[in-house]
Amino acid sequence: MEKRALLAIILSFLVLYFYYSFFAPEPEYLKEKKQKIIKEAPEKKKEIKSFKASVPFIQKKLSGYLDKEIEVENDLYHATFTTRGGGIKYFTLKKYKENLNQASPLINLIESQDNEEEIPAFSTAFTGKDFKLYPLDYKVNVNSPLKITSREELIFTGDSYPANIIKKFIFYPENYKIDMEWEITNKGDYPLNGLLNLHLHYNEKDKEGNKSGYFQNVPSLIVLQNKKIIKEELAKLHERYFYDKIFWAGFEDKYFLQAVIPNEFHTIKFNKESTNKFVANFGLTELEISPGKTLKKSYSIYLGPKDLDFLNKAKLQLEKSLNFGWFDAIAKPLLVFLKWLNKITGNFGMDIIILTVVIKVIFLPLTHKSMHSMKEMQKIQPKINAIKEKYKDNKEGLNKEIIELYRTNKVNPLGGCLPMLLQIPVFFALYKVLLDSIELRHAPFILWINDLSAKDPYYITPILMGISMFIQQKMTPQVGDPTQAKLMLILPVIFTFMFLNFPSGLVIYWLVNNLLSIVQQFYINKYQVK
Protein backbone atom coordinates (compact mmCIF):
# COMPACT_ATOMS: atom_id res chain seq x y z
CA MET A 1 0.00 0.00 0.00
CA GLU A 2 2.79 2.41 0.97
CA LYS A 3 4.78 1.74 -2.19
CA ARG A 4 1.73 2.37 -4.29
CA ALA A 5 1.19 5.66 -2.49
CA LEU A 6 4.81 6.72 -2.99
CA LEU A 7 4.69 5.70 -6.63
CA ALA A 8 1.45 7.66 -7.06
CA ILE A 9 3.03 10.77 -5.53
CA ILE A 10 6.09 10.59 -7.77
CA LEU A 11 4.08 9.89 -10.90
CA SER A 12 1.72 12.73 -9.98
CA PHE A 13 4.69 15.05 -9.83
CA LEU A 14 5.86 13.87 -13.26
CA VAL A 15 2.40 14.32 -14.74
CA LEU A 16 2.04 17.82 -13.25
CA TYR A 17 5.49 18.81 -14.46
CA PHE A 18 4.94 17.78 -18.08
CA TYR A 19 1.32 18.96 -18.04
CA TYR A 20 2.10 22.51 -16.92
CA SER A 21 5.21 22.66 -19.09
CA PHE A 22 3.63 21.64 -22.37
CA PHE A 23 -0.10 20.91 -22.29
CA ALA A 24 -1.84 23.09 -19.71
CA PRO A 25 -4.99 24.69 -21.20
CA GLU A 26 -6.16 28.17 -20.44
CA PRO A 27 -8.30 28.50 -17.31
CA GLU A 28 -12.03 28.44 -17.93
CA TYR A 29 -12.52 31.99 -16.67
CA LEU A 30 -9.92 33.18 -19.19
CA LYS A 31 -11.65 31.35 -22.04
CA GLU A 32 -14.98 32.88 -21.04
CA LYS A 33 -13.38 36.32 -20.77
CA LYS A 34 -11.87 35.96 -24.26
CA GLN A 35 -15.20 34.92 -25.77
CA LYS A 36 -16.92 37.83 -24.03
CA ILE A 37 -14.31 40.29 -25.26
CA ILE A 38 -14.51 38.99 -28.83
CA LYS A 39 -18.31 39.41 -28.78
CA GLU A 40 -18.24 42.81 -27.12
CA ALA A 41 -15.29 44.37 -28.95
CA PRO A 42 -17.22 45.69 -31.98
CA GLU A 43 -19.98 47.09 -29.76
CA LYS A 44 -17.56 48.66 -27.32
CA LYS A 45 -15.60 50.29 -30.09
CA LYS A 46 -18.77 51.98 -31.22
CA GLU A 47 -19.20 53.42 -27.73
CA ILE A 48 -15.85 55.23 -27.91
CA LYS A 49 -17.05 58.41 -29.47
CA SER A 50 -14.81 60.94 -31.14
CA PHE A 51 -15.88 64.54 -30.81
CA LYS A 52 -15.37 67.21 -33.39
CA ALA A 53 -13.02 69.92 -32.22
CA SER A 54 -14.46 73.38 -31.90
CA VAL A 55 -11.29 74.84 -33.43
CA PRO A 56 -8.74 73.29 -35.77
CA PHE A 57 -5.49 71.91 -34.39
CA ILE A 58 -2.22 71.94 -36.28
CA GLN A 59 -0.25 68.69 -36.01
CA LYS A 60 3.48 69.23 -35.94
CA LYS A 61 5.59 66.79 -37.93
CA LEU A 62 8.15 64.55 -36.29
CA SER A 63 10.52 64.91 -39.21
CA GLY A 64 13.47 67.16 -38.47
CA TYR A 65 12.51 67.69 -34.85
CA LEU A 66 15.48 67.72 -32.48
CA ASP A 67 14.48 66.38 -29.09
CA LYS A 68 16.21 67.02 -25.82
CA GLU A 69 17.09 64.08 -23.58
CA ILE A 70 16.95 64.19 -19.79
CA GLU A 71 18.81 61.55 -17.78
CA VAL A 72 17.16 60.42 -14.54
CA GLU A 73 18.58 57.88 -12.12
CA ASN A 74 18.45 56.51 -8.63
CA ASP A 75 20.25 53.49 -7.15
CA LEU A 76 17.94 51.08 -8.97
CA TYR A 77 17.58 52.39 -12.52
CA HIS A 78 18.79 54.83 -15.14
CA ALA A 79 16.13 56.36 -17.40
CA THR A 80 16.32 58.58 -20.47
CA PHE A 81 13.34 60.88 -20.97
CA THR A 82 12.73 62.94 -24.10
CA THR A 83 10.97 66.20 -24.84
CA ARG A 84 9.53 64.50 -27.94
CA GLY A 85 6.16 63.45 -26.58
CA GLY A 86 7.32 63.80 -22.99
CA GLY A 87 8.02 60.06 -22.79
CA ILE A 88 10.74 57.54 -21.92
CA LYS A 89 13.25 56.37 -24.51
CA TYR A 90 15.31 54.00 -22.35
CA PHE A 91 14.84 52.46 -18.93
CA THR A 92 17.80 50.43 -17.66
CA LEU A 93 17.84 48.37 -14.45
CA LYS A 94 21.17 48.80 -12.70
CA LYS A 95 21.10 45.57 -10.68
CA TYR A 96 20.22 43.09 -13.45
CA LYS A 97 22.28 41.96 -16.43
CA GLU A 98 21.03 40.09 -19.46
CA ASN A 99 23.46 37.22 -18.80
CA LEU A 100 26.42 36.26 -16.63
CA ASN A 101 29.13 37.49 -18.98
CA GLN A 102 31.24 40.25 -17.47
CA ALA A 103 30.56 42.48 -20.48
CA SER A 104 26.84 41.70 -20.56
CA PRO A 105 24.57 44.73 -20.97
CA LEU A 106 22.10 45.63 -18.26
CA ILE A 107 18.42 44.76 -18.64
CA ASN A 108 16.66 47.49 -20.60
CA LEU A 109 12.91 47.39 -20.02
CA ILE A 110 12.26 50.22 -22.49
CA GLU A 111 14.45 50.56 -25.54
CA SER A 112 13.32 52.92 -28.30
CA GLN A 113 14.63 52.80 -31.82
CA ASP A 114 16.79 55.75 -32.83
CA ASN A 115 14.51 57.04 -35.55
CA GLU A 116 12.16 59.98 -35.79
CA GLU A 117 9.07 57.85 -36.34
CA GLU A 118 9.40 55.99 -33.03
CA ILE A 119 6.84 57.14 -30.46
CA PRO A 120 8.45 57.10 -27.00
CA ALA A 121 6.88 55.00 -24.27
CA PHE A 122 4.43 56.82 -21.99
CA SER A 123 3.79 59.48 -24.60
CA THR A 124 0.30 60.96 -24.36
CA ALA A 125 -2.08 62.38 -26.92
CA PHE A 126 -5.41 64.18 -26.65
CA THR A 127 -7.49 63.23 -29.68
CA GLY A 128 -10.86 64.14 -31.15
CA LYS A 129 -12.53 63.47 -34.49
CA ASP A 130 -10.65 66.17 -36.38
CA PHE A 131 -7.55 66.66 -34.28
CA LYS A 132 -4.71 64.98 -32.48
CA LEU A 133 -2.92 67.03 -29.87
CA TYR A 134 0.57 65.61 -29.53
CA PRO A 135 2.93 68.37 -28.36
CA LEU A 136 6.51 68.00 -29.49
CA ASP A 137 7.93 71.21 -28.14
CA TYR A 138 7.94 70.20 -24.49
CA LYS A 139 10.04 72.22 -22.11
CA VAL A 140 11.45 70.79 -18.89
CA ASN A 141 12.03 72.21 -15.43
CA VAL A 142 15.37 70.49 -14.65
CA ASN A 143 18.75 70.01 -16.20
CA SER A 144 20.16 66.59 -17.00
CA PRO A 145 21.09 64.44 -15.17
CA LEU A 146 18.55 64.32 -12.36
CA LYS A 147 19.80 62.29 -9.36
CA ILE A 148 16.99 60.86 -7.24
CA THR A 149 18.01 60.92 -3.59
CA SER A 150 14.65 62.10 -2.30
CA ARG A 151 11.25 62.76 -3.85
CA GLU A 152 11.92 64.60 -7.13
CA GLU A 153 9.77 65.89 -9.99
CA LEU A 154 10.37 66.16 -13.73
CA ILE A 155 7.86 68.50 -15.37
CA PHE A 156 7.18 68.72 -19.11
CA THR A 157 5.25 71.73 -20.41
CA GLY A 158 3.79 71.71 -23.91
CA ASP A 159 1.85 74.48 -25.66
CA SER A 160 -0.32 73.69 -28.66
CA TYR A 161 -3.04 76.37 -28.85
CA PRO A 162 -5.72 76.35 -27.65
CA ALA A 163 -4.47 73.83 -25.08
CA ASN A 164 -1.63 73.70 -22.63
CA ILE A 165 -0.41 70.35 -21.32
CA ILE A 166 1.70 69.81 -18.21
CA LYS A 167 3.10 66.31 -17.58
CA LYS A 168 4.71 65.62 -14.24
CA PHE A 169 6.78 62.54 -13.38
CA ILE A 170 7.41 61.98 -9.67
CA PHE A 171 10.37 59.79 -8.64
CA TYR A 172 11.33 58.14 -5.36
CA PRO A 173 14.64 56.75 -4.10
CA GLU A 174 14.93 52.96 -3.74
CA ASN A 175 11.66 52.46 -5.59
CA TYR A 176 10.72 51.29 -9.08
CA LYS A 177 7.35 53.04 -8.89
CA ILE A 178 6.96 56.36 -10.70
CA ASP A 179 3.88 58.54 -10.30
CA MET A 180 2.64 60.62 -13.19
CA GLU A 181 0.21 63.53 -13.28
CA TRP A 182 -0.91 65.73 -16.10
CA GLU A 183 -3.01 68.84 -16.54
CA ILE A 184 -4.73 70.03 -19.72
CA THR A 185 -5.89 73.63 -19.75
CA ASN A 186 -8.27 74.95 -22.42
CA LYS A 187 -7.02 78.42 -23.31
CA GLY A 188 -9.50 78.84 -26.16
CA ASP A 189 -13.04 80.13 -26.37
CA TYR A 190 -14.76 76.82 -27.17
CA PRO A 191 -15.07 73.47 -25.33
CA LEU A 192 -12.55 70.74 -26.15
CA ASN A 193 -13.97 67.22 -26.46
CA GLY A 194 -11.74 64.21 -26.97
CA LEU A 195 -10.03 61.12 -25.68
CA LEU A 196 -6.80 61.07 -23.69
CA ASN A 197 -4.45 58.20 -24.63
CA LEU A 198 -1.28 56.73 -23.12
CA HIS A 199 1.16 54.64 -25.13
CA LEU A 200 3.39 51.76 -23.93
CA HIS A 201 5.38 49.39 -26.12
CA TYR A 202 7.28 46.16 -25.52
CA ASN A 203 10.23 45.10 -27.64
CA GLU A 204 10.75 41.37 -27.36
CA LYS A 205 14.36 40.23 -27.27
CA ASP A 206 15.94 36.84 -26.72
CA LYS A 207 17.67 37.38 -23.40
CA GLU A 208 20.24 34.69 -22.98
CA GLY A 209 20.16 34.73 -19.21
CA ASN A 210 16.43 34.10 -18.95
CA LYS A 211 16.42 30.51 -20.17
CA SER A 212 17.02 27.35 -18.23
CA GLY A 213 16.47 24.03 -19.94
CA TYR A 214 12.77 23.46 -20.45
CA PHE A 215 11.85 26.56 -18.48
CA GLN A 216 11.63 29.37 -20.98
CA ASN A 217 11.06 33.03 -20.38
CA VAL A 218 7.65 33.67 -21.96
CA PRO A 219 6.70 37.37 -22.45
CA SER A 220 2.99 38.04 -21.96
CA LEU A 221 0.49 40.80 -21.62
CA ILE A 222 -0.83 40.89 -18.07
CA VAL A 223 -3.95 42.57 -16.68
CA LEU A 224 -5.43 42.65 -13.19
CA GLN A 225 -9.13 42.94 -13.95
CA ASN A 226 -11.88 42.53 -11.38
CA LYS A 227 -9.35 41.00 -8.91
CA LYS A 228 -8.27 38.34 -11.43
CA ILE A 229 -4.96 38.08 -13.25
CA ILE A 230 -5.33 37.59 -17.01
CA LYS A 231 -2.35 36.72 -19.20
CA GLU A 232 -1.78 36.00 -22.87
CA GLU A 233 1.50 35.06 -24.48
CA LEU A 234 2.71 37.76 -26.86
CA ALA A 235 3.59 35.07 -29.39
CA LYS A 236 -0.17 34.39 -29.69
CA LEU A 237 -1.27 38.03 -29.57
CA HIS A 238 -2.87 39.74 -32.55
CA GLU A 239 -5.33 42.19 -31.01
CA ARG A 240 -6.95 42.22 -27.60
CA TYR A 241 -9.31 44.63 -25.81
CA PHE A 242 -10.03 45.05 -22.09
CA TYR A 243 -12.77 47.15 -20.48
CA ASP A 244 -13.77 48.27 -16.99
CA LYS A 245 -12.65 47.25 -13.48
CA ILE A 246 -8.98 47.29 -14.45
CA PHE A 247 -6.57 47.80 -11.56
CA TRP A 248 -3.39 47.71 -13.66
CA ALA A 249 -2.13 46.37 -16.97
CA GLY A 250 1.04 46.02 -19.01
CA PHE A 251 3.68 43.50 -20.07
CA GLU A 252 5.66 40.89 -18.16
CA ASP A 253 8.13 38.10 -18.60
CA LYS A 254 9.31 35.54 -16.06
CA TYR A 255 11.28 38.04 -14.00
CA PHE A 256 10.25 41.61 -14.94
CA LEU A 257 7.11 43.73 -15.08
CA GLN A 258 6.03 46.88 -16.92
CA ALA A 259 2.70 48.03 -15.53
CA VAL A 260 0.44 51.07 -15.73
CA ILE A 261 -1.81 51.71 -12.74
CA PRO A 262 -4.58 54.21 -13.54
CA ASN A 263 -7.26 55.93 -11.57
CA GLU A 264 -9.69 55.13 -14.37
CA PHE A 265 -9.66 53.46 -17.77
CA HIS A 266 -12.18 53.33 -20.55
CA THR A 267 -10.43 50.73 -22.66
CA ILE A 268 -7.06 49.12 -23.25
CA LYS A 269 -6.00 47.81 -26.61
CA PHE A 270 -3.07 45.44 -26.99
CA ASN A 271 -1.85 44.67 -30.49
CA LYS A 272 1.15 43.33 -32.37
CA GLU A 273 2.81 46.14 -34.33
CA SER A 274 5.66 44.15 -35.89
CA THR A 275 7.44 40.81 -35.45
CA ASN A 276 9.01 41.69 -32.10
CA LYS A 277 7.13 44.83 -31.12
CA PHE A 278 3.90 44.93 -29.16
CA VAL A 279 1.91 48.00 -28.17
CA ALA A 280 -0.57 48.80 -25.41
CA ASN A 281 -2.76 51.86 -25.80
CA PHE A 282 -4.53 53.02 -22.66
CA GLY A 283 -7.55 55.19 -23.38
CA LEU A 284 -9.08 57.16 -20.55
CA THR A 285 -12.73 58.19 -20.49
CA GLU A 286 -13.95 60.75 -23.04
CA LEU A 287 -13.22 64.21 -21.71
CA GLU A 288 -14.72 67.65 -22.11
CA ILE A 289 -12.76 70.72 -21.08
CA SER A 290 -14.66 73.99 -20.92
CA PRO A 291 -12.95 77.26 -21.89
CA GLY A 292 -10.58 78.46 -19.18
CA LYS A 293 -10.87 75.16 -17.24
CA THR A 294 -8.12 72.70 -16.37
CA LEU A 295 -8.51 68.92 -16.40
CA LYS A 296 -6.28 66.89 -14.04
CA LYS A 297 -5.49 63.17 -14.30
CA SER A 298 -2.98 60.93 -12.54
CA TYR A 299 -1.68 57.38 -12.53
CA SER A 300 1.39 55.35 -11.55
CA ILE A 301 3.81 53.18 -13.48
CA TYR A 302 6.03 50.31 -12.34
CA LEU A 303 9.10 49.33 -14.31
CA GLY A 304 11.15 46.76 -12.49
CA PRO A 305 11.73 43.21 -11.25
CA LYS A 306 9.04 40.90 -9.94
CA ASP A 307 10.66 41.12 -6.55
CA LEU A 308 8.10 40.63 -3.79
CA ASP A 309 9.63 43.38 -1.61
CA PHE A 310 9.37 46.06 -4.30
CA LEU A 311 5.98 44.87 -5.54
CA ASN A 312 4.57 45.15 -2.01
CA LYS A 313 6.35 48.46 -1.46
CA ALA A 314 4.44 50.03 -4.38
CA LYS A 315 1.12 49.27 -2.58
CA LEU A 316 -0.70 48.92 -5.90
CA GLN A 317 -1.66 45.20 -5.84
CA LEU A 318 1.32 44.49 -8.09
CA GLU A 319 2.30 41.54 -5.91
CA LYS A 320 -0.47 39.62 -7.67
CA SER A 321 1.74 39.52 -10.78
CA LEU A 322 3.96 37.10 -8.84
CA ASN A 323 1.75 34.04 -8.60
CA PHE A 324 2.95 30.55 -7.69
CA GLY A 325 -0.18 28.70 -8.75
CA TRP A 326 -2.38 26.52 -6.57
CA PHE A 327 -0.11 26.79 -3.53
CA ASP A 328 0.57 30.52 -3.71
CA ALA A 329 -0.53 31.03 -0.10
CA ILE A 330 2.21 28.63 1.05
CA ALA A 331 4.83 29.65 -1.51
CA LYS A 332 5.00 33.36 -0.67
CA PRO A 333 5.75 32.84 3.06
CA LEU A 334 8.48 30.38 2.00
CA LEU A 335 9.93 33.05 -0.31
CA VAL A 336 9.79 35.67 2.46
CA PHE A 337 11.65 33.29 4.78
CA LEU A 338 14.23 32.54 2.08
CA LYS A 339 14.85 36.28 1.58
CA TRP A 340 15.15 36.77 5.34
CA LEU A 341 17.78 34.02 5.52
CA ASN A 342 19.70 35.70 2.73
CA LYS A 343 20.12 38.84 4.81
CA ILE A 344 22.11 36.66 7.22
CA THR A 345 24.05 34.35 4.88
CA GLY A 346 24.32 36.38 1.66
CA ASN A 347 24.22 33.11 -0.33
CA PHE A 348 20.95 31.77 -1.71
CA GLY A 349 22.45 28.30 -2.15
CA MET A 350 23.06 28.13 1.60
CA ASP A 351 19.59 29.55 2.18
CA ILE A 352 18.03 26.73 0.15
CA ILE A 353 19.92 24.16 2.24
CA ILE A 354 18.85 25.82 5.51
CA LEU A 355 15.24 26.08 4.32
CA THR A 356 15.28 22.39 3.34
CA VAL A 357 16.55 21.44 6.80
CA VAL A 358 13.91 23.60 8.50
CA ILE A 359 11.10 22.04 6.44
CA LYS A 360 12.51 18.58 7.16
CA VAL A 361 12.56 19.31 10.89
CA ILE A 362 8.97 20.63 10.83
CA PHE A 363 7.77 17.47 9.10
CA LEU A 364 10.09 15.20 11.08
CA PRO A 365 7.31 13.61 13.17
CA LEU A 366 5.24 12.89 10.06
CA THR A 367 8.07 11.46 7.97
CA HIS A 368 9.34 9.50 10.98
CA LYS A 369 5.89 8.00 11.45
CA SER A 370 5.69 7.19 7.74
CA MET A 371 9.08 5.45 7.67
CA HIS A 372 8.36 3.61 10.92
CA SER A 373 5.04 2.40 9.55
CA MET A 374 6.67 1.14 6.37
CA LYS A 375 9.27 -0.71 8.43
CA GLU A 376 6.51 -2.35 10.49
CA MET A 377 4.69 -3.30 7.29
CA GLN A 378 7.87 -4.91 6.00
CA LYS A 379 8.07 -7.07 9.14
CA ILE A 380 4.62 -8.56 8.60
CA GLN A 381 4.92 -8.82 4.81
CA PRO A 382 5.74 -12.58 4.90
CA LYS A 383 2.57 -13.18 6.92
CA ILE A 384 0.55 -11.12 4.42
CA ASN A 385 1.98 -13.17 1.54
CA ALA A 386 1.08 -16.40 3.37
CA ILE A 387 -2.50 -15.20 3.90
CA LYS A 388 -2.79 -14.23 0.24
CA GLU A 389 -1.62 -17.67 -0.80
CA LYS A 390 -4.01 -19.40 1.63
CA TYR A 391 -7.06 -17.33 0.67
CA LYS A 392 -6.32 -16.67 -3.00
CA ASP A 393 -9.74 -17.99 -3.97
CA ASN A 394 -11.61 -16.42 -1.07
CA LYS A 395 -11.55 -12.61 -1.31
CA GLU A 396 -13.81 -12.07 1.70
CA GLY A 397 -11.72 -14.35 3.89
CA LEU A 398 -8.52 -12.74 2.61
CA ASN A 399 -9.64 -9.24 3.58
CA LYS A 400 -10.86 -10.42 6.99
CA GLU A 401 -7.57 -12.16 7.82
CA ILE A 402 -5.40 -9.25 6.67
CA ILE A 403 -7.44 -6.76 8.73
CA GLU A 404 -7.08 -9.03 11.74
CA LEU A 405 -3.32 -9.22 11.13
CA TYR A 406 -3.09 -5.41 11.06
CA ARG A 407 -5.10 -5.20 14.29
CA THR A 408 -3.00 -7.80 16.07
CA ASN A 409 0.29 -6.13 15.11
CA LYS A 410 -1.07 -2.60 15.58
CA VAL A 411 -0.11 -1.60 12.04
CA ASN A 412 -1.96 1.01 10.00
CA PRO A 413 -1.62 0.29 6.24
CA LEU A 414 -2.19 3.99 5.53
CA GLY A 415 0.41 5.06 8.07
CA GLY A 416 3.16 5.37 5.47
CA CYS A 417 0.95 7.15 2.95
CA LEU A 418 -0.94 9.88 4.79
CA PRO A 419 2.09 11.74 6.24
CA MET A 420 3.59 12.02 2.74
CA LEU A 421 0.33 13.31 1.30
CA LEU A 422 0.26 16.10 3.90
CA GLN A 423 3.68 17.29 2.70
CA ILE A 424 2.74 17.54 -0.99
CA PRO A 425 1.39 21.16 -0.88
CA VAL A 426 4.61 22.38 0.78
CA PHE A 427 6.74 20.48 -1.73
CA PHE A 428 4.98 21.94 -4.76
CA ALA A 429 4.96 25.44 -3.23
CA LEU A 430 8.73 25.30 -2.70
CA TYR A 431 9.16 23.83 -6.18
CA LYS A 432 7.45 26.90 -7.69
CA VAL A 433 9.42 29.33 -5.50
CA LEU A 434 12.76 27.86 -6.56
CA LEU A 435 11.65 27.75 -10.17
CA ASP A 436 10.26 31.27 -10.65
CA SER A 437 11.83 33.60 -8.08
CA ILE A 438 13.99 36.41 -9.46
CA GLU A 439 16.12 36.19 -6.30
CA LEU A 440 17.77 33.05 -7.73
CA ARG A 441 18.40 34.61 -11.15
CA HIS A 442 22.18 34.84 -11.62
CA ALA A 443 22.63 34.06 -7.90
CA PRO A 444 25.88 32.11 -7.32
CA PHE A 445 26.35 29.23 -4.89
CA ILE A 446 29.82 27.67 -4.77
CA LEU A 447 32.53 26.60 -7.22
CA TRP A 448 31.00 25.81 -10.61
CA ILE A 449 27.41 26.79 -9.73
CA ASN A 450 27.24 30.50 -10.58
CA ASP A 451 23.51 30.73 -11.38
CA LEU A 452 20.93 28.96 -9.21
CA SER A 453 18.20 29.67 -11.79
CA ALA A 454 20.10 27.80 -14.54
CA LYS A 455 20.94 24.14 -14.91
CA ASP A 456 24.15 22.71 -13.49
CA PRO A 457 26.62 23.16 -16.40
CA TYR A 458 28.48 19.95 -15.53
CA TYR A 459 25.42 17.94 -14.37
CA ILE A 460 27.16 17.07 -11.09
CA THR A 461 24.24 17.87 -8.76
CA PRO A 462 21.61 15.98 -10.83
CA ILE A 463 23.84 12.89 -10.87
CA LEU A 464 24.44 13.12 -7.12
CA MET A 465 20.71 13.58 -6.67
CA GLY A 466 20.04 10.41 -8.68
CA ILE A 467 22.58 8.44 -6.63
CA SER A 468 21.09 9.67 -3.36
CA MET A 469 17.61 8.74 -4.57
CA PHE A 470 18.81 5.24 -5.48
CA ILE A 471 20.38 4.79 -2.02
CA GLN A 472 17.20 6.02 -0.40
CA GLN A 473 15.15 3.52 -2.42
CA LYS A 474 17.44 0.66 -1.40
CA MET A 475 17.18 1.63 2.28
CA THR A 476 13.39 2.05 2.21
CA PRO A 477 11.51 -1.07 3.40
CA GLN A 478 10.26 -3.05 0.42
CA VAL A 479 6.54 -3.60 0.76
CA GLY A 480 4.60 -5.30 -2.01
CA ASP A 481 5.54 -7.66 -4.81
CA PRO A 482 9.14 -7.82 -6.18
CA THR A 483 8.13 -6.51 -9.61
CA GLN A 484 6.79 -3.31 -8.07
CA ALA A 485 9.97 -2.92 -6.01
CA LYS A 486 12.12 -3.22 -9.15
CA LEU A 487 9.95 -0.63 -10.88
CA MET A 488 10.64 1.81 -8.04
CA LEU A 489 14.40 1.42 -8.61
CA ILE A 490 13.99 2.74 -12.17
CA LEU A 491 12.66 6.07 -10.87
CA PRO A 492 16.08 7.43 -9.81
CA VAL A 493 17.26 7.02 -13.40
CA ILE A 494 14.16 8.78 -14.74
CA PHE A 495 14.51 11.60 -12.24
CA THR A 496 18.22 12.03 -12.98
CA PHE A 497 17.59 12.60 -16.68
CA MET A 498 14.64 14.87 -15.94
CA PHE A 499 16.67 16.96 -13.47
CA LEU A 500 19.57 17.50 -15.88
CA ASN A 501 17.85 20.65 -17.14
CA PHE A 502 16.23 21.75 -13.90
CA PRO A 503 17.47 24.96 -12.22
CA SER A 504 20.37 24.02 -9.97
CA GLY A 505 18.65 25.62 -6.95
CA LEU A 506 15.80 23.15 -7.26
CA VAL A 507 18.20 20.21 -7.70
CA ILE A 508 20.12 21.25 -4.57
CA TYR A 509 16.88 21.26 -2.60
CA TRP A 510 15.99 17.75 -3.77
CA LEU A 511 19.53 16.45 -3.17
CA VAL A 512 19.68 17.81 0.40
CA ASN A 513 16.19 16.48 1.12
CA ASN A 514 17.28 13.01 -0.07
CA LEU A 515 20.41 13.09 2.11
CA LEU A 516 18.37 14.03 5.17
CA SER A 517 15.89 11.25 4.40
CA ILE A 518 18.77 8.75 4.13
CA VAL A 519 20.05 9.76 7.58
CA GLN A 520 16.56 9.48 9.04
CA GLN A 521 15.93 6.08 7.42
CA PHE A 522 19.31 4.82 8.67
CA TYR A 523 18.39 5.80 12.22
CA ILE A 524 14.99 4.08 12.01
CA ASN A 525 16.44 0.92 10.45
CA LYS A 526 19.15 0.66 13.09
CA TYR A 527 17.50 1.82 16.29
CA GLN A 528 13.74 2.03 16.00
CA VAL A 529 12.49 -1.24 14.54
CA LYS A 530 14.16 -4.61 15.07
Contacts 24+ apart (CB under 8 A), 73-80: 73/145, 73/146, 73/147, 73/148, 74/147, 74/148, 74/149, 74/171, 74/172, 74/173, 74/174, 74/175, 75/173, 75/174, 76/174, 76/175, 76/176, 76/304, 77/176, 77/303, 77/304, 79/110
Q: What is the DSSP letter of 64?
A: T
Q: Is the pLDDT of residue 20 over 50?
A: no
Provide the pLDDT for residue 351: 92
Give yes or no for a cis peptide into 145 (omega within 30° of 0): yes
3-state secondary structure of 437: coil
Mean pLDDT taken over the chain: 76
CB atoms within 10 A of CB 340: 10
Provide the pLDDT for residue 9: 53
Provide the pLDDT for residue 302: 95
Range 421-449 average pLDDT: 83
Q: Is the pLDDT of residue 90 over 70?
A: yes
Q: What is the DSSP letter of 435?
A: H
Candidates 432, 434, 436, 425; CA nearest to 363 is 425
Range 197-211 average pLDDT: 66
Most confident residue range from 38-42, 304-308, 311-315, 382-386: 304-308
Provide the pLDDT for residue 12: 53
User: What gap in Å lies between CA 470 and CA 488, rounded to an integer?
Assistant: 9
Candidates 220, 216, 266; CA nearest to 241 is 266
3-state secondary structure of 160: strand
3-state secondary structure of 423: helix
Provide the pLDDT for residue 491: 79
Angle at which helix 2-18 crosses helix 482-499, to 10 degrees, equals 30
- Range scoring the smallest mean pLDDT among 21-30, 65-74, 146-155, 472-481: 21-30
User: What gap in Å lies between CA 384 and CA 411, rounded to an integer?
Assistant: 12
Under the banding of pLDDT at 50, 70 and 90, the label for residue 10 is: low
Under the banding of pLDDT at 50, 70 and 90, the label for residue 98 is: confident
- State the pairing for strand pair 146-147/69-73: parallel
- Range scoring the smallest mean pLDDT among 127-141, 206-220, 326-340: 206-220
What is the percentage of the chain residues whose pLDDT exceeds 70?
70
What is the b/e burial string over 244-266, where b = at least 16 CB atoms within 10 angstroms of the residue's CB? eebbbbbbbbbbbbbbbbbeebb
Per-residue pLDDT reduced to its tens digit, 228-239: 898 988 888 888
Q: Is the pLDDT of residue 219 over 70?
A: yes
Under the banding of pLDDT at 50, 70 and 90, the label for residue 45 is: very low
Most confident residue range from 302-306, 366-370, 421-425, 438-442: 302-306
**Which has the higher per-residue pLDDT, 352 or 481?**
352
User: What gap in Å lies between CA 484 and CA 480, rounded to an integer?
Assistant: 7
Under the banding of pLDDT at 50, 70 and 90, the label for residue 306 is: very high
Range 2-19 average pLDDT: 50
What order do you get walking across the sheet with 246-252 strand by strand? 139-140, 152-160, 163-171, 177-186, 294-305, 256-262, 246-252, 220-225, 228-233
Under the banding of pLDDT at 50, 70 and 90, the label for residue 176 is: very high
Provide the pLDDT for residue 43: 43
Q: Which residues contact 441 (CB under 8 A, 6 or more apart)?
A: 96, 209, 210, 255, 451, 453
DSSP codes, 489-516: HHHHHHHHHHHTTS-HHHHHHHHHHHHH
DSSP codes, 173-230: TT--EEEEEEEEEE-SSS-EEEEEEEEEEEE----GGG-BTTB----EEEEEETTEEE
Range 258-267 average pLDDT: 82
CA angle 366, 372, 376 (to 5 degrees): 145
What is the percentage of the chain residues whose pLDDT exceeds 90?
16
Provide the pLDDT for residue 192: 81
Q: Is the pLDDT of residue 293 over 60?
A: yes
Range 396-406 average pLDDT: 71
Under the banding of pLDDT at 50, 70 and 90, the label for residue 295 is: confident
| Cα torsion angle, 9, 15, 18, 21, sign | negative
Provide the pLDDT for residue 162: 74
Provide the pLDDT for residue 147: 87
User: What gap in Å lies between CA 83 and CA 158, rounded to an integer?
Assistant: 9
